[in-house]
Amino acid sequence: MKKLLMISAAIAAVAVAATGYNAHAADKLKVGFIYLGPVGDLGWTYRHEVGRQELVKALGDKIETTYLENVNEGPDSERSIEQLARTGHQLIFTTSFGYMDPTLKVAKRFPKIKFEHATGFKTAPNMGNYAGRFYEGRYIQGVIAGKMSKKGVIGYIGSFPIPEVISGINATMLGAQSVNPNIKVKIIWVNTWFDPGKEADAAKALADQGVDIIMQHTDSPAAMQVAAQRGILAFGQDSDMIKFGPKTQLTAIIDNWGPYYIKQTKAALDGTWKAGETWDGLKEKMVVMAPYTNMPDDVKALAEKTEAGIVAGTLHPFKCPVYGQDGKAVECKGGTHLAPGQILGMNFYVKGVDDKIPGK
């Protein structure tokens, strides 16, 4: 009997301690992040991590953040998202396209927790989404590539044939065609977001086949490094990769998530958070261009002019008419340019792309 008493006393003590801990933790809002790659990938995940760090810097006294890195897309991610939900996180950012359905499933099971999914198209009352208008940056890169490629061929390393990547290829081509109507593109899909060896192999294959400008939609600086070794030009992706190609990088599309993370977390703190659909670009500075380097002044001026046009709204990369590969104009649902839904769900190549979308 005495033993039993001691045990219950011990349990009670633990329970008190646990409650005490919870009470303390509840003072701060717990914000969770799910990352696709390692935080040091120098690309996609790294930029989300920079955003998280900016968030901590801005609101560190009111919040507590957690991140899980190297979370595979698909069923594996559902477990990770649920883990964050079960451990008291009130606001969870899932930062890759492939987390969309898992996030939705978990969001339905935890209606009181707020979810934010990056680069997808599904929402729920407690799940918003956010994405950058990366195609705006791609269009500028296309203009630069059209001017800078001596051979008139752009090498393009794609990850997966999803709408975001396809709209990037199309925006690039439309930009390039605006200065060189005969521009060509060679596309290699590596079917991974992150595999430096494979990305390098793809870049080598493109260089071997006579491409003199490489553009990538994968996450590591491997392609930039290969381009530097081969003495050709390249664009950085997700973050400024100039370090890996001081004489190679023309510019880079930089993802700038920090301001958005701060805004949404503030909204969650003061109770004004709503599940929204955010799609910001150069104007809102969610997409930022790295300095224009390694190009003559006239190309630089043209790139700056293009950027200014997009920011001012006088230039839209998908201005109608947009022609499909068959030469027919695509239905223009957005008035003067393609509607957001047409861009976010893009599954066709524009005229001038001499290739087929894999599996289509």
Partner 1 sequence: MGLLEAILISVIAASTPLLLAAAGELVVERSGVLNLGVEGMMIMGAACGFAGCWLTGSTFLGALCGIAAGAALSLVFAMLTLGLAVNQVAAGLALTILGTGLSGLIGAGFVGQRIVPAPHLDIPFITTLPVVGKLFFGQDGFVYFSILLVIAIWWFLYRTRAGLILRATGDNHTSAHALGYPVLKIRLLAVLFGGGCAGLAGAYLPLAYTPFFIPGMTAGRGWIALALVVFSSWRPGRLVGGAYLFGAVTILQLHAQALGLGIPSQLMTSLPYLATVVVLVLISRSRGIAGSAAPASLGMVFVPDR
For partner 1, the binding residues (CB under 8 A) are 37-42, 70, 155, 186-192, 194-202, 204-206, 208-209, 211, 220-222, 225-226, 243-244, 354-356, 358-359
Nearer residue to partner 1 within complex by CB, 85 or 226: 226
Q: Smallest distance, Å, CB 308 to partner 1?
A: 32
Nearer residue to partner 1 within complex by CB, 108 or 356: 356
Instruction: Identify whether 321 is preceded by a cis peptide bond (ω within 30 of 0).
Output: yes
Alpha-carbon distances of 134 from 168, 212, 288, rounded to whole Å: 7, 23, 9
Query: CA nearest 158: which of 118, 203, 197?
Result: 203
Nearer residue to partner 1 within complex by CB, 136 or 199: 199
What is the residue-wise DSSP string for 80-135?
HHHHHHHTT-SEEEE-SGGGHHHHHHHHHH-TTSEEEEES----BTTEEEEEE-HH
Nearer residue to partner 1 within complex by CB, 201 or 284: 201
Q: Smallest distance, Å, CB 142 to partner 1?
A: 19
- Element spanning 250, H or E: strand 249-255
Q: Smallest distance, Å, CB 210 to partner 1?
A: 9
Q: Smallest distance, Å, CB 358 to partner 1?
A: 5
**Gap between the Cα atoms of 71 and 89, Å rounded:** 17
CB-CB neighbours of 88 under 10 Å: 15
Nearer residue to partner 1 within complex by CB, 216 or 265: 216
Q: Smallest distance, Å, CB 347 to partner 1?
A: 15
